[in-house]
């Protein structure tokens, strides 16, 4: 089990307090003995704002002495021209646009999107998904900003993209040969894409980054960013922006008889030029309680969710930035209660979704005789329609599934989430059952469930696997396509499998096996670029491997 492998690594590391260290030096912290220690010196156990330097406090006086006569002159100043417009084909019928914000003497109120010289849409965001397009067709775009007085900026430089052909979305094209991207003794293969540029973390400690500007054909030399990368989504990309969040200021703790943990503070590295150069590390939290991390970005708005143990119980905490990570709002505890686990965050425009595991009231203890002794959890959803300013009450996504006789426990966890326009949510998760009704007693399957109305109602769950041990899925959406990868041991060895849906998760194509290795292949990560789907994974606790195919 991966939990046991991680636990052994944590014990082997023997990590302890190493002071306030952003990890960017790439050196490992000193080893000490013991499996549970105090948080690092200088950290606090209370909540912190998590805001970075560069923000200002107090208010400024904008009033002038004396009075003026006459009426206020009309505002005739145009907003500045939007810059950095990019157009990326997401599918045979969708192109995604993004750009940087305009400025105005009073304030920008929105943007006009023009396709082939004609107005296609208006939006208040710095991104737009243009849907309903023809396959294999090139479209040209430009964007203009407007203010409250009706002033319209000069049109941006144009950008163009070509939708994929219908045949490239068949879901049955062959996978290309494996590549080795890096070496790591810790789950460290993470991949994201923006347009035709693919970004990957190829080593966990220190965090090491590579990029490909030709959709995975060739890769840059490795760049060491520092710290410890942690499951599940520590890297994100949007336009020319790339963000990597990692743990530093590390120490070791044991939260239950199951698992020693390596905890730390969150630090951020970001690039504004597509990964060519990186800004200095930013410390986002104190208290050294952070664990499993998920990050998502849309239109320059950055969202981070993670498990946190600083109160000696697991909470889910959340951070957001409105300016591409330059400054951060105070962190929030969005789920409290001691057993919240494995949050995953997704975003699309103003929509934000966080899924996590948590036991319902009076949940039984799970799996007597197994390593995990906590209460059985279900998967819940937190959703926001205002960019993460506020979240609706949690919704339980995982239902009481039909089970064989004499089920002893039912655990729904390790969920991931994806958002599709205009209002679709797809959630995939591990469903673990311990039962005398199964031939092999204990089994874990992959399930998926879809809502087409932003979580108000849900379709019936779809079972994606038929294997006694399929686990640790990774989920991503692009256009109307949904892609999921996982590993399972149906043949006596951990191997990577993949399935795709071309209609937003309503139906699924047959599974595809990616690996045939005598070593264990585990913890996949999946991404979609202009023309390819990409999967990276940990091979044999030593290598980060990669495959791609057209979609």
Break the chain into its structural domains and give their ranges: 1-38+233-338, 83-168, 178-224+526-551, 340-513
Phi, then psi, of 169 in degrees rounded to 5 = -105, 20
Residue 121 makes CB contacts below 8 A (sequence gap 6+) with 112, 113, 128, 130
| Structure confidence at residue 58 (pLDDT) | 36
Angle (CA) 387-391-397 rounded to 5° is: 115
- Range in 33-47, 177-191, 290-304, 434-448 the model is least confident about: 33-47
C-alpha–C-alpha distance, residues 17 and 29, integer Å: 8
Token pair in block for residue 5: 């492998």
Report yes or no on whether pTM surpasses 0.75.
no
Angle (CA) 318-321-324 rounded to 5° is: 135
| Structure confidence at residue 132 (pLDDT) | 74
C-alpha–C-alpha distance, residues 308 and 315, integer Å: 5
Q: Residue 174, class by beta-carbon neighbours within 10 Å (0-12 exposed, 13-18 middle, 19+ buried)?
A: exposed
| CB count in 10 Å sphere of residue 233 | 24
- Range in 73-87, 89-103, 320-334, 486-500 the model is least confident about: 89-103
Question: Can you say how many angstroms the Cα of residue 505 is from the centroid of all Cα atoms in its chain?
Answer: 18
Coarse DSSP helix, strand, coil percentages of the chain, rounded to the nearest 5 percent = 5, 45, 50
Indicate the SS3 state at residue 168. Answer: helix
Residue 91 makes CB contacts below 8 A (sequence gap 6+) with 163, 164, 169, 478, 479, 480, 481
Domain 340-513 fold? Neuraminidase (2.120.10)
Query: DSSP string covering 100-135, please?
Result: EPP--SS-EEEEEEEETTEEEEEESSSEEEE-SPPT
| CB count in 10 Å sphere of residue 5 | 17
**DSSP-derived pairing of the beta strands 495-501 and 512-513:** antiparallel
Position 14 pLDDT exceeds 70? no
Phi, then psi, of 8 in degrees rounded to 5 = -65, -40
Confidence of residue 88 (pLDDT cuts 50, 70, 90): confident
Residue matched to tokens 């991104």: 127
| Structure confidence at residue 400 (pLDDT) | 61
**In three state form, how does the secondary structure of 278-306 look?**
CCCCEECCCCCCEEEEEEEEECCEEEEEE
Token pair in block for residue 389: 């300013």
For the 83-168 domain, the top CATH level (class) is mainly beta
- Which H or E run includes 7? helix 2-13
Position 168 pLDDT exceeds 80? no
Strand order in the sheet with 179-183: 179-183, 543-550, 532-539, 521-528
- Range in 186-200, 261-275, 411-425, 430-444 the model is least confident about: 430-444
Confidence of residue 135 (pLDDT cuts 50, 70, 90): confident
C-alpha–C-alpha distance, residues 253 and 258, integer Å: 11
Residue 49 makes CB contacts below 8 A (sequence gap 6+) with 330, 331
- What number is the average pLDDT over the span 125-129? 85
What one-character DSSP code corresponds to residue 80? P
Cβ–Cβ < 8 Å for 412, 378: yes
Cβ–Cβ < 8 Å for 504, 426: yes
In terms of pLDDT, which residue wins out, 374 or 280? Answer: 280
Phi, then psi, of 166 in degrees rounded to 5 = -60, -35
Handedness of CA 506, 508, 514, 517 (dihedral sign): positive
Confidence of residue 169 (pLDDT cuts 50, 70, 90): very low
In terms of pLDDT, which residue wins out, 175 or 163? Answer: 175
Angle (CA) 155-275-142 rounded to 5° is: 15
| Structure confidence at residue 441 (pLDDT) | 57
| CB count in 10 Å sphere of residue 322 | 17
Indicate the SS3 state at residue 3. Answer: helix
Cβ–Cβ < 8 Å for 365, 373: yes
Confidence of residue 67 (pLDDT cuts 50, 70, 90): very low
Q: What would the pLDDT profile of 210-235 be if each residue is shown by its tens digit? A: 999 999 999 999 999 999 998 889 99
- What number is the average pLDDT over the span 90-112? 89
- What number is the average pLDDT over the span 339-356? 96
Q: What would the pLDDT profile of 512-546 be if each residue is shown by its tens digit? A: 999 998 899 999 999 999 999 999 999 987 899 99
Cα distances from 433 to residues 221, 339, 357, 370, 376, in angstroms, run: 44, 19, 16, 12, 10
Position 65 pLDDT exceeds 70? no
Residues paired with 263 in a beta bridge: 251
Residue matched to tokens 């143990």: 309
| Structure confidence at residue 31 (pLDDT) | 31
């Amino acid at each position: 089990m991966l939990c046991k492998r991680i636990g052994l690594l944590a014990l082997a590391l023997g990590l302890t307090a190493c002071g306030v260290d952003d990890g960017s030096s790439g050196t490992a912290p000193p080893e000490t003995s013991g499996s549970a220690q105090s948080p690092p010196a200088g950290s606090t156990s209370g909540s912190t704002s998590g805001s970075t330097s560069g923000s200002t406090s107090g208010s400024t006086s904008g009033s002038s002495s004396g009075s003026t006569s006459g009426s206020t002159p009309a505002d005739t100043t145009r907003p500045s021209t939007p810059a950095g417009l990019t157009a990326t084909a997401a599918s045979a019928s969708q192109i995604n646009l993004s750009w940087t914000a305009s400025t105005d003497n009073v304030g920008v109120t929105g943007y006009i999107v023009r396709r082939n010289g004609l107005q296609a849409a208006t939006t208040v965001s710095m991104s737009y998904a243009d849907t309903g397009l023809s396959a294999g067709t090139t479209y040209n775009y430009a964007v203009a900003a407007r203010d409250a007085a009706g002033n319209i900026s000069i049109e941006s430089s144009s950008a163009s993209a070509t939708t994929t052909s219908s045949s490239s979305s068949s879901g049955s094209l062959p996978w290309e040969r494996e590549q080795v991207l890096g070496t790591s003794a810790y789950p460290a293969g993470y991949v994201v894409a923006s347009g035709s540029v693919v970004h990957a973390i190829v080593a966990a400690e220190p965090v090491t980054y590579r990029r490909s500007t030709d959709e995975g054909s060739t890769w840059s030399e490795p760049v060491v960013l520092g710290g410890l990368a942690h499951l599940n989504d520590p890297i994100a990309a949007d336009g020319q922006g790339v963000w990597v969040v990692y743990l530093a200021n590390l120490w070791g703790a044991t939260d239950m008889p199951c698992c020693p943990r390596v905890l730390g503070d969150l630090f951020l590295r970001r690039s504004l030029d597509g990964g060519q150069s990186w800004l200095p590390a930013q410390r986002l939290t104190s208290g050294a309680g952070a664990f499993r991390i998920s990050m998502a970005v849309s239109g320059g708005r950055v969202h981070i969710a993670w498990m946190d143990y600083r109160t000696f119980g697991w909470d889910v905490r959340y951070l957001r930035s409105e300016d591409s990570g330059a400054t951060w709002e105070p962190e929030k505890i969005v789920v409290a209660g001691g057993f919240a686990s494995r949050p995953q965050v997704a975003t699309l425009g103003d929509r934000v979704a966080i899924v996590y595991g948590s036991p319902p009231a009076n949940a039984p203890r799970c799996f007597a005789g197994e390593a995990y002794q906590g209460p059985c959890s279900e998967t819940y959803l937190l959703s926001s329609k205002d960019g993460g300013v506020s979240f609706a009450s949690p919704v339980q996504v995982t239902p009481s599934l039909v089970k064989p006789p004499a089920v002893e426990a039912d655990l729904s966890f390790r969920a991931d989430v994806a958002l599709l326009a205009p209002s679709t949510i797809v959630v995939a998760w591990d469903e673990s059952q311990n039962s005398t009704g199964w031939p092999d007693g204990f089994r874990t399957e992959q399930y998926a469930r879809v809502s087409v109305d932003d979580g108000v109602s849900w379709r019936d769950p779809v079972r994606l696997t038929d294997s006694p041990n399929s686990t640790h899925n990774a989920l991503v959406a692009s256009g109307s396509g949904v892609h999921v990868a996982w590993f399972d041991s149906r043949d006596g060895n951990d191997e990577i499998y993949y399935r795709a849906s071309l209609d937003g998760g309503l139906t699924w194509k047959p599974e595809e096996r990616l690996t045939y290795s005598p070593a264990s292949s585990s913890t996949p990560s999946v991404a979609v670029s202009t023309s390819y789907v990409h999967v990276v994974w940990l091979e044999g606790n030593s290598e980060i491997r990669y495959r791609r195919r057209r979609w």
